[in-house]
Structure 1
Amino acid sequence: MRVVILGGGESGVGAAYLAKAKGFDVFLSDMGMIRENYKKELDELGVDYEDGKHSEEKILNADWIIKSPGIPKKAEMILKIQEKGIRLSSEIEFASEFTDAKIIAITGSNGKTTTTSLIYYILKEDGFNVGLGGNIGKSFAKQVAEENFDYYVLEVSSFQLDDIQNFRPYISLLLNLSKDHLDQYNYNYEEYALAKFRIAENQEANNFFIYNKDDEMSKSLLGKLDLKVTKVPFSLSERLEKGAFSIDENFVVNVNDGFTMNIDELSLLGKHNVANSLAASIAGKLLEISNQSIRNSLMTFQAVEHRLEPVSEINGVKFINDSKATNVNATYFALESMKQPVVWIVGGKDKGNDYTEIEDLVKRKVKAIVCLGIDNQKIIDFFKGKKTQIYDTSSMQQAVEVSKSVAEKGDIVLLSPCCASFDLFNGYEDRGNQFKNEVLKSEKPMAIS
């Protein structure tokens, strides 16, 4: 079998490892330039590859093509592949064909990384032989090639789900839905939401689908879709006899023997993280992990980097890195969890954002807006007249300097951009790391918990 891999990043090189391990004829192609460390791995594997171009004659003779989630669906080469009827899969689809491990797969517009990391932590703390992959950690395919895990916890994006055929997790989670990546889905919210629901389309009655009963789009689509899977809900507004819920200070999991705790015992802050913890707890109970073990993990888990990550406290001002908030809904949750006045750093590559969702929160909680991007006009125009302090910056250094000059003792400087990072940065990690570096550069910080 000839396997062609499009994209030479973590998932593409991981797919090359697995394809090579299975004895396939492997070729990898990347329109961009492949990083030197990945080139070295491909050379050591003996995989033929190219970068800076896609050679049609080397690609369109494939039996199976594995596509990086970063390649747009409407890219010219993808359309040609589809015209020829060649099987086109994501790395998660490809890898799942070669493992009998149980898969716990997590998707949603927000909270994927935190919930994936939390479920992995719960399993690891309980002694499970488990791997972490998908959009987080090492390539899933590479782990299937080299490891022998009994379970995988995978963070899965809509772009990866676009390219599945048989992918069937033992447990799937759809945390929430909000308008994101609409530029890739014809600016149609339902089309994007249906891509997320593909996580459950191949599941059967002996599998589990954990979903958010408070999410309006999820409720609407569940009424239309014919899913065979066993559904388990969670809610922040409704008491559930089956599933999990949190009302007032109570955190209640009614799955198998179930347990309760107080939300003040959770290590993660914010209402959205209560929801994430409910979803993770359900997964733990479905895997028959003890109540005490789950409870201990919920109390000791540490927040993931770039997601409401405390950086430091300088002269009484707290600095928080939420660079992973690349859409309006993610920033909504961040602002909602703030208890002190906020100097808000926002901006980047707009994905069709509608800021009305956070307008009221900004009015109530934000004292100054620091725009960070090449073109900040849309944000400035929206909030003009609603906030008097709006600053226009085009570098992280400038944004942090302005924020420090505006913030007073007792304030929070929050980087929660609402936007993708690719106008000024190499990704949300680069953006978050630059923020941390600039914050810590000139003044001696105090550690904050």
Structure 2
Amino acid sequence: MGRTKSCGSVLDNWCTLCFNNFSYVESKMTTEEKIKNRRIGIIGMARSGLAAAKLAAKLGGQVLVSDSAEESKLLEQISELRKLSIPFETDGHSENLLGCDYLVLSPGVPLNIEILKKAQKKGIPIFSEIEFGYWVCKGTIIAVTGSNGKTTTTTLIGEIFKAAGYNTFVCGNIGLPFCEVADKIGKHDIAVVEISTFQLETIEDFKPHVAVILNLSPDHLDRHGSFNAYKALKYRIAENQTDTEFLVLNEEDKSLTTDNIKSGAERLLFTTRDKSEMKVFVSDNKLVSNFDSNKQNIIDINEILIQGPHNLQNAVAAVCVSSIFKIDSKVIKNVLSTFSGVEHRLEKIGQVAGVNFVNDSKATNVESVCYAIRSVAKPIYLIAGGRDKGAPYDKIAEIGKDKIKEIYAIGEAKEKIFEQLGKTIPVHLIDSLENAVQLSFEKATPGGTVLLSPGCASFDMFKNYEHRGQIFKEAVASLKGKRDEKVNS
């Protein structure tokens, strides 16, 4: 565990305060009582942890930030902490953290690390950054989770509410941490928050006014162990809701209608099928809202700018949430007809020598890859791989055997992809994303699609999925000069 000289005396004072004055927080306390003068350990210096640390310090907490990475890899974060005189430690988690009133975790920090085991034995509460932000947020929270479509749906809901005149914050597991804006969200404002299972593991009081569960498929099994454990964590988004709140569920996902989801909220079901008993459904190619016995045709589904079955589900979910707040149908229609989607999610990069390039770096599980395969033009030259998350890849072959021409496997999972898919589809083991782009371009035919849809986490080779997507786009840009060479070959 390392410590910089500039923060040394501050950290020493912090440790003295911790071990001489130990006390806990309780749910019934006010936000000020939970934070001001409390000894708060923040574990993880990623963006969410850093945002929580800044918020805690701003509100009068005595903060210690701890990260297992070496100092040389955290220079940017350390610079920010130094400016605010926030104590920190690197190269491991010391037992200084055991003098805290409670700990706040960055989403990527697993619960089975040694310091957290010791904290649990000692009875020290452990909260997620989402829980911590919830204590501070005064606005109305719409929380969105699911295995796929979270970012698109969260962003789409945010755009609809902004267009309707609400002061709206779109945040959470979407790039902007909840804690970065929580204290800026006023009583009459809307917070649309994307939530992951990692963030739901350690909530206690978190209670959104509207909770949305889009769909469920096996994901993060490397962390959660089983699909049932993963689902149980997803359902925690609604566990504190009462009959004054709403739980929005996808009727087409049977887990969501047959599992015993603990929630006191009013349940609202949506579907892309023609089922008029649902709150939002599709009939004769019209997206229909059915609230307060008032059926409204919102939009012809062919007018929705983001196409594909998965995006129709995202749009229907967004309409369901918007209808709770009685947002004008004309506002909803206008947004649906102009919203072009989010970066790194089936993002069309353009063409080189007649070959289409699509950046789907946000696809970090197998089901997302299957959505992408259904959505793009064949023949597909698929670039997949990264850090394996425990789920099998067989479904990619099942869905893609008639569309995928070749697979270019990268990262830690490439051998597993080869073993599970190589008998059905040709799989090439490639050492880098850049080389995968080059080789797939050389093989691709005009009208075909080079699709980056990894089905894996990015952390083996990249900082995050955004970094992976950016490298892909840069690699595609480098091909532009080779257009004539390919055309003439």
TM-score range, shorter chain: over 0.9
Q: Do structure 1's residue 44 and structure 2's residue 80 form an aligned pair?
A: no
- The CA RMSD measured in Å over matched residues stands at 1.8
Q: 1:315 aligns with which of 353, 359, 363?
A: 353
1:87-102 to 2 correspondences below 5 Å: 87-102=125-140
SS in 2 for 1:282: helix
* Larger Cα-atom Rg: 2
Contact 2:139–2:185 (Cα < 8 Å) also in 1 = no
| C-alpha distance 238-85 of structure 1, shift in aligned 2 (>3 A) | farther
1:242-391 to 2 correspondences below 5 Å: 242-246=278-282, 249-256=285-292, 257=294, 258-387=296-425, 389-391=426-428
Q: What is the identity, as a one-letter code, of the residue corresponding to 1:337?
A: S
State the shift of 1:417 in Å: 1.0
CA distance in 2, matches of 1:361, 1:147: 43
Contact 1:21–1:145 (Cα < 8 Å) also in 2 = no
State the shift of 1:405 in Å: 0.9
State the shift of 1:8 in Å: 1.2
Q: Do structure 1's residue 438 and structure 2's residue 475 form an aligned pair?
A: yes
Q: Name the residue aligned to 1:241.
A: 277
State the shift of 1:42 in Å: 1.7
Q: What is the identity, as a one-letter code, of the residue corresponding to 2:218?
A: K
1:14-93 to 2 correspondences below 5 Å: 14-32=51-69, 33=71, 35-56=74-95, 58-93=96-131
CA distance in 1, matches of 2:480, 2:356: 13
Q: Do structure 1's residue 207 and structure 2's residue 245 form an aligned pair?
A: yes
State the shift of 1:288 in Å: 1.9
Q: Do structure 1's residue 225 and structure 2's residue 261 form an aligned pair?
A: yes
Contact 1:246–1:274 (Cα < 8 Å) also in 2 = no
SS in 1 for 2:112: coil
State the shift of 1:22 in Å: 2.0
Render the CA deviation track for 1:319-356: whole Å, top value 9, x for unaligned.
00001111100011111112332111111121122223
Which has the larger displacement, 239-248 or 43-52? Answer: 239-248
Q: Name the residue aligned to 1:129.
A: 167
Q: What is the identity, as a one-letter code, of the residue corresponding to 1:360?
A: E
Q: Name the residue aligned to 1:154.
A: 193
| C-alpha distance 439-122 of structure 1, shift in aligned 2 (>3 A) | same
State the shift of 1:182 in Å: 0.9
Render the CA deviation track for 1:64-112: whole Å, top value 9, x for unaligned.
2111110112111111111111111111101111222100100001111
CA distance in 1, matches of 2:467, 2:271: 34
Q: What is the identity, as a one-letter code, of the residue corresponding to 1:249?
A: N
| C-alpha distance 445-91 of structure 1, shift in aligned 2 (>3 A) | farther
SS in 2 for 1:141: helix
Contact 1:425–1:431 (Cα < 8 Å) also in 2 = yes
Contact 2:238–2:247 (Cα < 8 Å) also in 1 = yes
Q: Name the residue aligned to 1:392.
A: 429
Q: What is the identity, as a one-letter code, of the residue corresponding to 2:439?
A: V
Q: What is the identity, as a one-letter code, of the residue corresponding to 2:351?
A: E
Q: Name the residue aligned to 2:11.
A: none
Contact 1:242–1:255 (Cα < 8 Å) also in 2 = no
> What residue ranges of structure 2 are gaps of 5+ in the alignment?
1-37, 484-489
CA distance in 1, matches of 2:348, 2:481: 15
| TM-score with structure 1 setting the length | 0.94
CA distance in 2, matches of 1:350, 1:75: 20
CA distance in 1, matches of 2:185, 2:265: 29
Contact 2:249–2:267 (Cα < 8 Å) also in 1 = yes
CA distance in 2, matches of 1:76, 1:280: 41
Which has the larger displacement, 90-99 or 234-243? Answer: 234-243
SS in 2 for 1:154: strand
State the shift of 1:36 in Å: 3.0
Q: What is the identity, as a one-letter code, of the residue corresponding to 2:450?
A: V
> What residue ranges of structure 1 are gaps of 5+ in the alignment?
none
CA distance in 1, matches of 2:146, 2:135: 23
Contact 1:17–1:145 (Cα < 8 Å) also in 2 = no
Q: Name the residue aligned to 2:28.
A: none
State the shift of 1:375 in Å: 5.0
| TM-score with structure 2 setting the length | 0.87
State the shift of 1:407 in Å: 0.5
Aligned length: 441
| C-alpha distance 442-413 of structure 1, shift in aligned 2 (>3 A) | closer
Contact 1:338–1:365 (Cα < 8 Å) also in 2 = no
State the shift of 1:28 in Å: 1.0
